[in-house]
Structure 1
Amino acid sequence: MEVIVDAADEQRFRDFVSARSPALMRLAYLLTGGDQHAAEDLLQSALARSAARWRTVEEPEAYVRQVMYRQQVSWWRRRRETTFAEPPDRAEAGGDDGTAGVELRIVMRRALARLTSRQRAVLVLRYYEDLPEAEVAGILGCSVGTVRSTTHRSLAKLRALAPELREPYTIFGEAKA
């Protein structure tokens, strides 16, 4: 593996990390089901792998994201099942005090954490990353039909886990009427 040795490449890598880390961290957080430590590990691992090939990378953000997807899939294959701690009970909403959006995001994060890793990955890639089914299939190493059926089952499970999501709220930032 090639390592960054040129000062200009090193500076370009540092600038990229500085500018894009927050967005990449959000993606890592979603891919890991809201596990902050696992998200940090995933991003760190992806950046380390990217640094090793930095001189040949043409599209840095796309490359790092691809490394993150593949690394996470690799971790899932090794673990097969992920255990999450039970989140505390949700406080009942009392009127419209501006917290509905925050509560909805909390409900969504909790529901996503209860999906399998593969289900979560399919939903994140399809709706958060807005990737077509064929690209999701390529990233996850499965067929387009598997992506479609997994998407269908995952959305149904989300709705069962969090009935609040059946309301005309948003799922992954898209308004549903």
Structure 2
Amino acid sequence: MSTDDEAGFTDFVAARQAALSRTAYLLTGDHHLAQDLVQAALMKAARHWRRIHTSPEAYVRRAMYHQNISWWRRRRFTESGLGGLDRAAPTADADLRLSLDQALARLTHKQRTVLVLRFYEDLTEVETARALSLSTSTVKSTTRQALARLRTLAPELAELIGADA
């Protein structure tokens, strides 16, 4: 990697690491796995920086999504309970955030990933399907099933989920 490439990569990491870490946490539900996920994606980005430097965020996020899917397909590990999204700064809606955290932890990895991409990352169904290498109809049905399961697991989240979503 040339000095210019290295500087560009360093600037990208400094600017986007916090946002990437938040998304990784939502995908994994575990701070340590989230750190590993971001690190793995950034390592891939560093290797391909010369090719991806014009749009590195899309590459890194896609690498995170695929790595996360690879982990849960390969390991099928059981999730442990989740803490709050931000323990350092409690907010007025901490109970709601904790309920959401716990409900997301009880979804399948696929359901959780689809919901994070659709509603946290604000991707369309088509973009989500492309990012996960799924069909659009699979994204739609997975979203529908995940939201129905959230309504059952955490009825107190009804206003967040919406009746028609």
Distance in 2, matches of 1:87 and 1:60, equals: 30
Q: Does structure 1 residue 135 correspond to structure 2 residue 127?
A: yes
- SS of the equivalent of 1:74 reads helix
Q: d(CA) in 2 for partners of 1:87 and 1:122? A: 19
Q: Which residue of 2 aligns with 1:20?
A: 16
CA RMSD of aligned residues (A): 2.0
One-letter amino acid of the structure 2 residue matched with residue 14 of structure 1: T
Pair member with larger Rg:
1
In the alignment, the residues of structure 2 paired with residue 69 and residue 141 of structure 1 have an alpha-carbon distance, to the nearest angstrom, of 10
Indicate the larger mover: 36-45 or 138-147. Answer: 138-147
Shift of 1:55: 1.0
Q: Which runs of 5+ in 2 are unaligned?
A: 84-89
Q: How far apart are the structure 2 equivalents of 1:16 and 1:86?
A: 32
- Percent identity of the aligned residues? 54
Residue 46 of structure 2: aligned partner: 51
- 2:138 — aligned with what? 146
For 2:31, which of 10, 31, 36 is the aligned residue? 36
Give yes or no for contact 1:82–1:116 (8 Å, CA) kept in 2: no
For residue 154 of structure 1, report the CA deviation from its aligned partner: 0.2
Deviations 1:33-92 (A, max 9, x none): x2001000000000000000111112011111111111111112212x33122469xxxx
Q: Which has the higher helix share?
A: 2
Unaligned ranges ≥5, structure 1: 89-97
The question of whether the paired residues in 1 share the 8 Å contact of 2:82 and 2:101 is answered with no
Cα distance, 1:54–1:75 mapped onto 2, change above 3 Å? same
**TM-score (norm. length: structure 1):** 0.81
Contact 2:41 2:63 in 1 (8 A): yes
| CA-CA distance at 1:100 after TM superposition | 4.3
Q: Distance in 2 between matches of 1:84 and 1:66?
A: 23
**Contact 1:82–1:117 (CA<8 Å) still a contact in 2?**
no
2:112 — aligned with what?
120
Letter of the aligned partner of 2:77 in structure 1?
A: T
Stretches (4+) displaced over 4 A: none
Shift of 1:99: 5.0
Partners of 1:152 and 1:75 in 2: how far apart? 24
**Superposed CA offset, 1:128-153 (max 9, x none):** 11111112112222211111111111
> 2:145 matched to 1:158?
no
Tell me by how many angstroms 1:117 deviates: 0.3
Partner AA of 2:131 in structure 1: I
